[in-house]
């Protein structure tokens, strides 16, 4: 081995490639974010995440979601599960694309040095183009929110990834041409490495600046847009809203700390298969009805609202992924048109057995026509809480099917096809329950130690929560303290037969470490399932329990009944 060869300047390899890949990808992600906000161009990180979520096997997805809930959201107490999960998914999407950039850099630099490639721009640009083509295909298959012209979308994506490949090549050739001559001495080699390091630091500084500025600008513009967004409500009327909650005069008041009986709209949980809800323009929207019907038709939102007397119903909806005691369950007022009326008007042919419902995000589900005729409560819904559906909750149209988990109830409905067969819907194909009937559950929300009260010389601690059976009714709720006897709780009159029921139990004061358990019975006396089961595939079952330390002395709130 010659002296020269010994001190030959190390060529940029895998590590440098990974570093440069990251440095170049970060500003590109920020630019994509900005382009999304300014021009409605696709934001690839979300598209990649959505594509993975739809195409990876259901087990892998479930495993990922459980990890996220068990090891991040729950232990860190990040807040309401569904909105935190969405944010974490967004972060994951960005992380994945960043990772793709890092790997591209590493692989590219390895290839360049390994094969001593001279036309780095051609090869680098080619690799970028190849990734761009894949990304464009992914984006086109799952993105329902980008508003720019589709050709422009594809060109933009190709451009971004060619820029990625091109920049990687440019930096590589700079790194290698800074010192065209091999280092002859150890000192030479040291100086060259220092130069290269300085060059990389400069590039890093530049890309970091672009990233921060792009992301910051995007965020500012987005917030401004959200403030200026017109309220959709003006184009719609929702007639005859109930003035007050129907159980205003119920004699059982919720124990302090029980979740709100009527969920504020902004707090309603949300579960979508997409990073962003599809955007549908209410004015040009048409519901397409076809298949086994006498005549195909396209129905505007206005027709649905004006040709049919609106029906209001208080509804508790739960996600099948809601764990025992979880927060993926909420209650609001649903307004819409009973679906059986529409079946008649649409002249659905007698041989039709199911409606295949398809949504703007390509979600789909099948609803039995027999069931629609049996349960006149099933309704196409256009308003929640007295206002048009929020975009994230399915604007302009979704369906309510009592006694079924949310996975059976598509939002953003665009197509209804009458068919004479059944098939698996979106989540059923991913091995979740085909029937998805609600599993009856009861939950302790509060042991209100701070709200103890005194009645007839006895101090009580209010305990309370909810019981939910879908639409099977709740006839009884029982509480057990420290594994003693089951005691019957009081039931508050519910908002409707399709909402949860609030229960309350006033426990005679007793200090110490206490365990509390709750169980419930359906309307016909059927007990809830006590044996524990996880959410997959049929919905969670089991007894909810909490432990609380009751202090030796407590100050009652008042001597009145609460």
Which parts of this chain interact with ligand MTE (CB under 6 A)? Answer: 268-273, 319, 359, 361, 363, 393-394, 406-407, 409-412
For the range 486-489, what are the long-range contacts, defined as Cβ-Cβ under 8 Å and sequence gap of 24 or more? 486/519, 489/463, 489/518
Distance (Å, rounded) from C-alpha 498 to C-alpha 434? 21
> Please, which residue, 381 or 442, has the CB nearer to ligand MTE?
381
> Please, which residue, 394 or 470, has the CB nearer to ligand MTE?
394
Closest separation in Å from C-beta 418 to ligand MTE: 19
407 binds Mo ion (CB under 5 A): yes
CB 160 within 8 A of CB 132: yes
Closest CA to 507 of 527, 490, 530, 528: 490
> Please, which residue, 407 or 540, has the CB nearer to Mo ion?
407
Q: Which stretch binds Mo ion (CB under 5 A): 256-264, 276-284, 319-327, 485-493?
A: 319-327
Q: With left for phi above 0 and alpha for psi between -120 and 50, is residue 323 left, alpha or beta?
A: beta
Distance (Å, rounded) from C-alpha 444 to C-alpha 558? 24
- Regarding beta strands 297-300 and 364-368, do their DSSP bridges make them parallel or antiparallel, or are they unpaired? unpaired
Helical spans, DSSP H, in 229-318: 301-306
Contacting residue, 93, 165, 326, 406, with Mo ion by CB under 5 A: 406
- What Å distances lie between residue 428 and 64, 261, 405, 408, CA to CA? 18, 31, 12, 9
Q: Which does 102 bind (CB under 5 to 8 A by kind): ligand MTE, Mo ion, none?
A: none
Closest separation in Å from C-beta 503 to ligand MTE: 24
Distance (Å, rounded) from C-alpha 148 to C-alpha 41? 6
In sequence order, what are the beta bridge partners of 418? Answer: 291, 355
> Please, which residue, 105 or 326, has the CB nearer to Mo ion?
326
Closest separation in Å from C-beta 171 to Mo ion: 45
Q: Which stretch binds Mo ion (CB under 5 A): 25-33, 90-98, 99-107, 398-406?
A: 398-406
Q: Which stretch binds Mo ion (CB under 5 A): 3-11, 159-167, 402-410, 512-520?
A: 402-410
Closest separation in Å from C-beta 499 to ligand MTE: 15
Closest separation in Å from C-beta 328 to ligand MTE: 7
**Which residue in this structure is represented by tokens 């001597």?**
559
Q: Which does 111 bind (CB under 5 to 8 A by kind): Mo ion, ligand MTE, none?
A: none
Distance (Å, rounded) from C-alpha 121 to C-alpha 366? 52
319 binds Mo ion (CB under 5 A): yes
Distance (Å, rounded) from C-alpha 86 to C-alpha 142? 16
**Cβ-based neighbours of 540, under 8 Å, separated by 6 or more:** 322, 323, 324, 326, 439, 441, 532, 533, 534
Closest separation in Å from C-beta 552 to Mo ion: 44
271 binds Mo ion (CB under 5 A): yes
Distance (Å, rounded) from C-alpha 319 to C-alpha 406? 5
Q: Which does 478 bind (CB under 5 to 8 A by kind): Mo ion, ligand MTE, none?
A: none
Closest separation in Å from C-beta 410 to Mo ion: 11
> Please, which residue, 265 or 271, has the CB nearer to Mo ion?
271
Alpha-carbon dihedral sign for residues 472, 474, 479, 480: negative
Closest separation in Å from C-beta 390 to ligand MTE: 8
Q: Which does 272 bind (CB under 5 to 8 A by kind): Mo ion, ligand MTE, none?
A: ligand MTE
CB 459 within 8 A of CB 470: no
Structure tokens at 218: 């995007």
> Please, which residue, 74 or 300, has the CB nearer to Mo ion?
74
Q: Which does 270 bind (CB under 5 to 8 A by kind): Mo ion, ligand MTE, none?
A: ligand MTE
Distance (Å, rounded) from C-alpha 98 to C-alpha 100? 5
- Phi, psi for residue 58 in degrees, rounded to 5: -50, -40
Q: Which does 268 bind (CB under 5 to 8 A by kind): ligand MTE, Mo ion, none?
A: ligand MTE
Closest separation in Å from C-beta 468 to ligand MTE: 14
Residue in the shown chain whose Cβ atom is closest to ligand MTE: 406
User: Interface with Mo ion by CB under 5 A: which residues?
Assistant: 271, 319, 406-407
């Amino acid at each position: 081995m010659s002296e020269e060869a010994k001190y030959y300047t190390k060529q940029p390899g895998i590590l440098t490639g990974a570093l440069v890949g990251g440095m170049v990808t970060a500003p590109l992600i920020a630019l994509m974010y900005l382009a999304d906000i300014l021009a409605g161009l696709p934001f690839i990180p979300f598209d990649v995440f959505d594509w993975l979520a739809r195409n990876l096997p259901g087990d892998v997805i479930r495993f990922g979601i459980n990890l996220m809930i068990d090891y991040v959201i729950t232990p860190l107490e990040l807040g309401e599960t569904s909105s935190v999960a969405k944010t974490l998914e967004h972060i994951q999407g960005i992380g994945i694309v960043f990772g793709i950039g890092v790997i591209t850099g590493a692989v590219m630099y390895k290839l360049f040095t390994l094969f001593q490639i001279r036309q780095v721009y051609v090869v680098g640009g080619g690799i970028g183009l190849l990734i761009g083509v894949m990304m464009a295909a992914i984006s086109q298959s799952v993105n329902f929110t980008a508003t720019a012209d589709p050709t422009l979308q594809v060109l933009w994506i190709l451009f971004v990834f060619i820029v990625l490949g091109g920049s990687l090549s440019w930096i590589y050739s700079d790194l290698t041409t800074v010192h065209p001559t091999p280092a002859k001495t150890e000192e030479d080699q040291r100086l060259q490495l220092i130069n290269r390091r300085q060059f990389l630091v400069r590039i890093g500084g530049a890309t970091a600046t672009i990233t921060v500025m792009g992301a910051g600008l995007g965020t500012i513009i987005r917030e401004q847009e959200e403030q200026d967004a017109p309220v959709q409500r003006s184009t719609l009327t929702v007639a005859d809203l109930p003035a007050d909650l129907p159980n205003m005069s119920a004699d059982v008041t919720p124990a302090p700390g029980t979740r709100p009986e009527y969920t504020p709209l902004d707090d309603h949980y949300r579960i979508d298969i997409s990073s962003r809800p599809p955007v549908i323009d209410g004015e040009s929207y048409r519901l397409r009805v076809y298949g086994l019907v006498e005549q195909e038709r396209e129905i505007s939102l206005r027709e649905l609202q004006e040709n049919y007397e609106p029906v209001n119903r208080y509804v508790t909806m739960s996600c099948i992924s809601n764990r025992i005691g979880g927060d993926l369950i909420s209650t609001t007022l649903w307004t819409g048109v009973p679906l059986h009326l529409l079946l008649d008007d649409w002249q659905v042919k007698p041989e039709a057995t199911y409606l295949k419902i398809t949504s703007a995000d390509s979600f789909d589900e099948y609803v039995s026509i027999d069931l629609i005729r049996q349960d006149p409560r099933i309704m196409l819904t256009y308003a929640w809480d007295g206002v048009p559906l929020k975009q994230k909750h399915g604007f302009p149209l979704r369906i309510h099917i009592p006694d079924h988990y949310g996975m059976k109830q598509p939002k953003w409905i665009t197509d209804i096809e009458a068919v004479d067969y059944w098939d698996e819907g979106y989540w059923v194909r991913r091995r979740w329950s085909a029937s998805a009937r609600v599993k009856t559950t009861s939950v302790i929300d509060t042991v209100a130690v701070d709200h103890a009260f005194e009645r007839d010389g006895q101090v009580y601690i209010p305990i309370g929560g909810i019981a939910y059976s879908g639409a099977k009714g709740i006839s009884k709720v029982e509480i057990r303290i420290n594994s003693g006897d089951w005691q019957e709780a009081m039931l508050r009159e519910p908002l409707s037969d399709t909402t949860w029921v609030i229960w309350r139990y006033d426990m005679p004061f007793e200090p110490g470490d206490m365990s509390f358990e709750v169980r419930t019975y359906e309307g016909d006396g059927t007990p809830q399932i006590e044996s524990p089961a996880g959410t997959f595939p049929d919905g969670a079952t089991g007894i909810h329990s909490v432990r609380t330390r009751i202090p030796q002395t407590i100050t009652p709130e008042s001597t009145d009944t609460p």
